[in-house]
Structure 1
Amino acid sequence: MRVALIENTAVTHHGQIGVALHERGALVDILRPFRGDALPLDFSGWDAVIVFGGEQSARDDARHPYLPHLADAMRKAVEAGQPVLGICLGSQLMARGFGAENQLGTAPEFGWCRVDLTGDGEADPVLSAAGSAFRVFQWHSDTFTLPAGALHLARSDRAAHQAFRVGRAGYATQFHFEANRAVVADWARRFPDLIEGMEPGWLSRHAALAERDGALADAAGLRLARAFLDLVPR
Structure 2
Amino acid sequence: MNELSPVKRVLMVFNSATGQPGRVGTVLRRYGYEFDIRRPGEGDTLPSDMAGYHLAIVFGGPMSANDDHEDNVARIMEWLPHVVNSNAMYLGICLGAQLMARHLGASVSPRSDGMTEIGYYPVEATEAGRDLFPNEMMVYHWHSEGFELPDGAELMARGSVFPNQAYHIDNRIWGIQFHPEVDDETHERWLAKSAEKTERPNGQTPDQQRAGRAKYDAAFGAWFEGFATRVLIDERVIVDSSLGACSV
Name the TM-score class by shorter chain: 0.7 to 0.9
Determine if the alignment matches structure 1 residue 96 to structure 2 residue 102.
yes
**SS at 2:228 equivalent:** helix
Off by >6 Å, runs of 4+ in structure 1: none
Aligned length: 228
TM-score by length of 1: 0.87
Q: Which residue of 1 is the match for residue 65 of structure 2?
A: 58
Whole-Å Cα distance in 1 between the matches of residues 90 and 203 of structure 2?
A: 35
Question: What percentage of aligned pairs have identical amino acids?
Answer: 31
Relative contact order (alpha carbons < 8 A, sep ≥ 6): 1 or 2 greater?
A: 1
Q: Secondary structure at the match of 1:50?
A: strand
What does residue 130 of structure 2 align with? 122
2:224 is equivalent to residue 221 of structure 1: yes
Alignment of 1:189-208 (within 5 A): 189-197=192-200, 202-208=205-211
TM-score normalised by the chain length of structure 2: 0.83
CA RMSD, 1 decimal: 2.2
Aligned to 2:246: none
Change (3 A) 1:78 1:233: farther
Q: What is the CA–CA distance in structure 2 between the aligned matches of 1:41 and 1:161, rounded to whole Å?
A: 29
In the alignment, the residues of structure 1 paired with residue 45 and residue 235 of structure 2 have an alpha-carbon distance, to the nearest angstrom, of 24
CA contact (8 A) 1:111 1:139 kept: yes
Q: Is the deviation greater in 215-224 or in 144-153?
A: 215-224
Larger Rg: 2
Report matched runs for 1:95-174 at 5 Å. Answer: 95-104=101-110, 106=112, 108-123=116-131, 128=132, 130-174=133-177
| 5+ long unaligned stretches in structure 2 | 1-7, 238-248
User: What is aligned with 1:28?
Assistant: 35
- Output the amino acid matched with 1:9: S
Please state how far the C-alpha of 1:49 moved relative to its aligned partner. 0.4
Which is worse superposed, 85-94 or 9-18? 9-18
Answer yes or no: is the 8 Å Cα contact 2:51–2:87 preserved in 1.
Answer: no
Q: Distance in 2 between matches of 1:182 and 1:221?
A: 17
Distance of 1:178 and 1:56 partners within structure 2: 18
Alpha-carbon shift at residue 75 of structure 1 (Å): 4.1
Aligned with 1:183: secondary structure? helix
User: What is the CA deviation profile of residues 62-121 of structure 1, one whole-angstrom value per residue up to 9, with x for unaligned ones?
Assistant: 132x52442353343234332100000000011011111121355511111111111111
Q: Could you tell me whether the CA contact under 8 Å between 2:149 and 2:164 is conserved in 1?
A: yes
Offset at residue 201 of structure 1 (A): 6.0
Q: Work out whether residues 13 and 179 of structure 1, in 8 Å CA contact, stay in contact via their aligned partners in 2.
A: no
Q: For residues 11-47 of structure 1, what are the alpha-carbon distances to aligned partners after superposition, in whole Å with 9 as ceiling and x for unaligned?
A: 3131221111110111210000010111222423211
Say whether 1:83 aligns with 2:89.
Answer: yes
- Which residue identity does 1:168 align to in structure 2? N
Please give the alpha-carbon distance, in whole angstroms, between the structure 1 residues aligned to 2:75 and 2:192.
Answer: 33
Distance in 1, matches of 2:44 and 2:96, equals 17
d(CA) in 2 for partners of 1:114 and 1:75? 32
Structure 2 SS opposite 1:30: strand
